[in-house]
Amino acid sequence: MKQLIAGLGNIGDEYADTRHNIGFMILDAFAKASNVVFDINKRYGAVVELRLKNQQLILLKPYTYMNLSGNAVRYWMQKEKIELPNLLIVVDDLALPFGTLRLKTKGSDAGHNGLKHIREVLGTSDYNRLRFGIGNDFSPGRQINFVLDSFSEEEQKRLPERIEIAVEIIKSFVLAGADITMNLFNNK
- Which residues are marked as active site? 20
Type of residue at 120: E
Instruction: With CA atoms as reference, report the closest residue to 176 among 83, 103, 92.
Output: 103
Separation CA 72–CA 96 (nearest Å): 26
* Full strand arrangement of the beta sheet holding 55-62: 39-42, 45-52, 55-62, 2-7, 87-93, 128-133, 101-104
Report CA-CA distances (Å) from 143 to 20, 81, 119, 146, 187: 11, 36, 22, 5, 27
